[in-house]
Amino acid sequence: MHATVDHVVLWTDDPLRAVEFYERIVGLAPVRVEEFRAGRAPFPSVRVSSESILDLMSRAAAPVVDAMTGSDASAGQRVNHVCLSMSEGEFTALRERLAAHDVPTSAMTQQSFGAQGLAPNAFYFRDPDENVIEARYYD
Domains identified in the chain, total number: 2
Among 50, 77, 104, the domain-final residue is 77
**Pair (109, 71) in one structural domain:** no
- Structural domain boundaries, residue 42: 1-77
**Pair (58, 120) in one structural domain:** no
Average pLDDT, the chain: 93
**Pair (137, 121) in one structural domain:** yes
Query: Phi and psi of 138, rounded to 5°?
Result: -115, 150
pLDDT digits (tens, 9 = 90+) for 34-70: 999 999 999 999 999 999 999 999 999 888 887 877 7
pLDDT digits (tens, 9 = 90+) for 90-118: 999 999 999 999 999 999 999 999 989 99
Among 27, 60, 77, the domain-final residue is 77
**Pair (4, 24) in one structural domain:** yes
pTM of the full structure: 0.86
